């Protein structure tokens, strides 16, 4: 089934990176990750990261994603 979703930039980057490493498409990886997240036991004290997590554990989402435009704007503001 096809649908349109809004996916945070950091999430999409992580999905694309995993898909690249596994020589798969993002469309194959994302449903698998969603199923894993939805089937985890509720109330688990574990953060939900299994042994197959790549790289470092991502930080909890606390605000908007940082874009290149935001970095450029802040750099310009600091420069005066």
Instruction: Report d(CA 38, CA 74) in Å as an integer.
Output: 37
* 38, 30 Cβ separation under 8 angstroms: no
pTM of full prediction above 0.85: no
pLDDT digits (tens, 9 = 90+) for 8-29: 999 999 999 999 999 999 999 9
Tell me, rounded to whole angstroms, the distance of Cα 79 from its chain centroid.
31
Q: What would the pLDDT profile of 60-71 be if each residue is shown by its tens digit?
A: 777 777 888 889
Residue 52 per-residue DSSP state = T
């Amino acid at each position: 089934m096809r649908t349109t979703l809004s996916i945070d930039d950091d999430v999409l980057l992580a999905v694309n990176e995993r898909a690249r490493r596994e020589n798969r498409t993002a469309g194959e990886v994302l449903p698998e990750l969603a199923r894993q997240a939805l089937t985890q036991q509720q109330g688990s004290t574990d953060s939900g990261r299994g042994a197959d997590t790549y790289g470092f554990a991502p930080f909890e989402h606390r605000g908007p994603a940082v874009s290149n435009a935001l970095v450029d704007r802040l750099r310009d503001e600091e420069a005066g």
